[in-house]
């Protein structure tokens, strides 16, 4: 038995002996966004217009951007905060519209692309992209009431535990001017799959690797915490290496999120089911909150 076969055998035994009950957030609970190789592969998925698994297609984003300009009351010259900005696919068009952009993310490949995109579109002077965990960045900000609008899109608030999500909302509110608005996109809890299931597939390129691999996935619903837990185990068949990632997604009812936003300092909150019926392929899966900062 060669070394690769030994490693594959060991990986299979690890899978066989894996814990059957997962505790939310006990294993990190998030994708390895800041791993350079994972970040590079995720960027590839972001830019792949054949699907909308990582971000929306260009026509869908154009509808969203027009909607955001209206609902957030955006005007040229205003300061816009894009938290978990990814490769700048929303931030740079808003900079072209005339906004001054601060984008925060900790995926190195995505941030590099955002800076390149800003340079290509001639908006580097109005775009600042910061490679940092938004939790750390928000706490470190001393300036209050600086931004005219902010956004946390594509369900990214849900990948944090509830107490961290509360902190993120409160710190974001602190940075917004009175009357400024936050757009928050979260999965509709009525549409979340609450059944346990498993799946597998093989591939030779994709988010999980760039050589032949076997992907084994499991999904669990933790009713007590209203959290889905996904465990991804990826066997790289040429090397025998196995990667394991556990992803947690918190589900919020509209009443719970309304209370969280109000506690964070937002005075008025409007909820738009199904992305306000914009022509987005999975619009029915989402609720969009627009929260206005109090005085």
Domain at 62, CATH number: 3.40.50.150
> Counting runs of H as helices and runs of E as strands, what totals does the chain give?
9, 11
Does 93 have pLDDT greater than 90? yes
The whole-number pLDDT of residue 20 equals: 86
Does 1 have pLDDT greater than 80? no
Residue 229 and residue 95 share a domain: no
Residue 226 and residue 140 share a domain: no
Among candidates 225, 153, 164, 144, which has minimal Cα distance to 192?
A: 225
Residue 273 and residue 235 share a domain: no
Residue 91 and residue 12 share a domain: no
Q: What is the pLDDT of residues 41-57, one digit of tens each?
A: 999 999 999 888 888 99
Residue 97 and residue 152 share a domain: yes
* SS3 of residue 178 by DSSP: strand
Rounded to an integer, the average pLDDT of 10-23 is 92
Tell me the HSE value of 33 on the side-chain side, using a 13 A CA sphere: 22
Residue 169 and residue 122 share a domain: yes
Handedness of CA 142, 148, 67, 278 (dihedral sign): positive
The whole-number pLDDT of residue 143 equals: 80
Residue 258 and residue 118 share a domain: yes
Q: What percent of the chain has pLDDT over 90?
A: 93
Domain holding 235, by residue range, is 3-30+193-250
Q: What is the pLDDT of residues 130-166, one digit of tens each?
A: 999 999 999 999 888 899 999 999 999 999 999 999 9
Compute the mean pLDDT over every residue in the chain, rounded to the nearest whole number.
96
Residue 84 and residue 174 share a domain: yes
Rounded to an integer, the average pLDDT of 200-229 is 96
Q: How many residues does the chain have?
A: 295
The whole-number pLDDT of residue 291 equals: 98
Split into its structural domains, the chain has a count of 2
Residue 82 and residue 173 share a domain: yes
The whole-number pLDDT of residue 287 equals: 98
Q: Please tell me the distance from the alpha carbon of residue 42 to that of residue 198, in angstroms, as a whole number.
A: 23
- b/e 158-180 (16+ beta carbons within 10 angstroms → b): bbbebeebebbbbbbbbbbeeeb
Does 117 have pLDDT greater than 90? yes
The whole-number pLDDT of residue 228 equals: 96
The whole-number pLDDT of residue 278 equals: 98
Residue 274 and residue 168 share a domain: yes
Rounded to an integer, the average pLDDT of 78-96 is 98
The whole-number pLDDT of residue 94 equals: 98
Residue 124 and residue 236 share a domain: no
Residue 122 and residue 78 share a domain: yes
Q: Are 235 and 259 in contact (CB under 8 A)?
A: no
Higher pLDDT, 19 or 289: 289
The whole-number pLDDT of residue 142 equals: 81
pTM of this prediction?
Answer: 0.96
The whole-number pLDDT of residue 295 equals: 82
The whole-number pLDDT of residue 21 equals: 86
């Amino acid at each position: 038995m060669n070394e690769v076969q030994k490693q594959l055998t060991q990986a299979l035994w690890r899978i066989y002996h894996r814990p059957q009950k997962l505790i939310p957030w006990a294993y990190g609970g998030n994708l390895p966004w800041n791993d350079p190789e994972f970040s590079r592969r995720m960027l590839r998925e972001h830019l792949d217009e054949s699907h909308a698994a990582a971000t929306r297609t260009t026509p869908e984003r154009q509808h969203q951007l027009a909607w955001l300009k209206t609902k957030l009351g955006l005007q040229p010259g205003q300061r816009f905060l894009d938290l978990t900005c990814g490769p700048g696919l929303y931030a740079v068009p808003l900079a072209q519209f005339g906004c001054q952009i601060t984008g925060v993310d900790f995926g190195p490949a995505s941030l590099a692309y955002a800076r390149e995109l800003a340079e290509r579109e001639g908006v580097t002077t109005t775009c600042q992209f910061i490679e940092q965990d938004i939790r750390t960045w928000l706490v470190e900000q001393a300036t209050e009431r600086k931004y005219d609008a902010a956004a946390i899109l594509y369900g990214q608030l849900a990948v944090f535990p509830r107490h961290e999500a509360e902190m993120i909302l409160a710190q974001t509110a602190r940075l917004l001017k009175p009357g400024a608005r936050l757009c928050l996109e979260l999965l509709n809890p009525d549409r979340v799959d609450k059944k346990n299931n498993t799946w597998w597939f093989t591939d030779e390129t994709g988010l999980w690797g760039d050589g032949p691999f076997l992907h084994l996935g499991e999904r669990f619903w933790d009713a007590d915490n209203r959290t889905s837990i996904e465990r991804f185990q990826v066997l790289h068949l040429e090397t025998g290496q196995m990667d394991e990632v556990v992803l947690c997604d918190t589900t919020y009812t509209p009443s719970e999120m309304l209370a969280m936003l109000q506690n964070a300092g937002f005075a008025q909150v409007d909820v738009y089911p199904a992305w306000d019926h914009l022509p987005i392929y999975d619009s029915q899966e989402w609720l969009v909150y627009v929260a206005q900062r109090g005085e």
